[in-house]
Chain A
């Protein structure tokens, strides 16, 4: 039993309750304000995510469209032309002149063989099977060997650091970026030596593609579709691309991809 006068106990309880209530209101207000801020923050993050996803989707569509255009151009400009020529030879066969006919048939067979080889190259370059089976480094080795086989280029390929297997989609996108860079060199650079280096550090893959070609002014705004595709693919992988080139001194492409 408490010995304090009852009025004191009542005052004590009243003051205590009042203070606790005040504190409760204060804490509730802070939590309410904080949650309001948190809701707004999460909304912003959601909006950013949606916007980023839209950009990625658009990039993917653009890359897909570009790839279709490349296939279409390849078929129309090279394979189509060769098959048309073969068809022309076959249509103009003169069976009375067997010697000439034999030559025409031989030429047609050669042209069709070339067309088949080009179709095969195109199919191989579009296929992701090599990545699936051997991984990025081996796939790039095949690719560079193929290009070096033409005898036009000296290609130095190296992989340094601590190579790791990334997921198949990432490896495929990196492979496509290097392919795109090599396509650019073949089409525009007139280079003799190409250096390709893949460097793996703890959490970063750095891809360097250098050539000694004619270069271009990289400070000028706007790049070709090939370089744009490389940048878009890097964006998809949350990486970044740095292109440095000056006319007459080759081109350096540095791609950084977080692992």
Chain B
């Protein structure tokens, strides 16, 4: 088994674990934004299935269709994240900023997905979600640090969710931005896989943070 294949399998296991954790806490009273996180996890599972199937089987629909499915799932995941951030901190200026940026980014992402699919250009559409998520995370942290510190941060489920997204976006954004500049030459093909593995590892950590946030629901704090 190759390293990136191992990381993909490990990632799938972690996503499945987060799905089980989400099911375990399904009946627990929790903030409304958790429904988007739940759909996000389901979409993550579908993404894993898509990746594993393309790695192991010759799919009759071909690579282009698989990439299109992947980008569609990433798009839906981004919608879920947008909804999550929109419901995260009500009654704050944070919400206004998030809504506007989110609404503006959706058509950009959509156009990018279509363009990549039709023209087969190297730019990755997930660049947009990662950048926007980074901005949202900064807004959230700024909001948390500037408002009344009434919650216990280490027990705040929202905090761990945002930290997970932040970590993943921090690593994914430069990786995805630089990818078009790394040659597809055979001799350094491994480098692409290494970089992708690091990006996948960041996603694994994000799902671990999602599990942590679910565990925080044992001591619910609505912030």
Interface residues of A (CB under 8 A from B): 1-5, 8-9, 11-12, 15-16, 19-20, 23, 27, 30-31, 33-35, 37-38, 41
Check if A12 sits within 8 Å of B198, measured CB to CB.
yes
Check if A11 sits within 8 Å of B149, measured CB to CB.
no
Our pick among A2, A15, A23, A37 for the contact of B6 (Cβ within 8 Å) is: A2
Interface residues of B (CB under 8 A from A): 1-4, 6, 141, 144-145, 148-150, 153-154, 163, 167, 170-171, 190, 193-194, 197-198, 201-202, 205
Our pick among B145, B154, B201 for the contact of A16 (Cβ within 8 Å) is: B201
Known: A3-B2, A19-B171. A27 touches B194 (CB 8 A): no
Check if A12 sits within 8 Å of B205, measured CB to CB.
no
Check if A19 sits within 8 Å of B202, measured CB to CB.
yes
Known: A4-B3, A5-B190, A8-B190. A31 touches B198 (CB 8 A): no
Check if B149 sits within 8 Å of A30, measured CB to CB.
no
Residue of A nearest to B3 (CB): A4
Question: B2: which A residues are within 8 A, CB to CB?
Answer: 2-4
Known: A4-B190, A20-B205. A35 touches B3 (CB 8 A): no
Residue of A nearest to B205 (CB): A20
Within the assembled complex, what's the spacing in Å between the Cα atoms of A15 and B196? 12
Question: A16: which B residues are within 8 A, CB to CB?
Answer: 198, 201
Known: A30-B153, A35-B153. 5 other contacts (CB 8 A): A3-B3, A8-B194, A12-B201, A23-B170, A41-B149
**Nearest chain A CB to B53 CB, angstrom units:** 20
Check if B198 sits within 8 Å of A19, measured CB to CB.
yes
Within the assembled complex, what's the spacing in Å between the Cα atoms of A8 and B4? 11
Within the assembled complex, what's the spacing in Å between the Cα atoms of A30 and B205? 18
Question: A31: which B residues are within 8 A, CB to CB?
Answer: 153-154
Question: B201: which A residues are within 8 A, CB to CB?
Answer: 12, 16, 19
Question: B145: which A residues are within 8 A, CB to CB?
Answer: 30, 33-34, 37
7 pairs from A and B in contact (CB 8 Å cutoff): A2-B6, A4-B2, A4-B190, A19-B198, A19-B201, A23-B167, A35-B149
Question: B148: which A residues are within 8 A, CB to CB?
Answer: 41
Residue of A nearest to B170 (CB): A23
Q: Indicate the member of A2, A35, A41 with the most B CB atoms within 10 Å.
A: A2
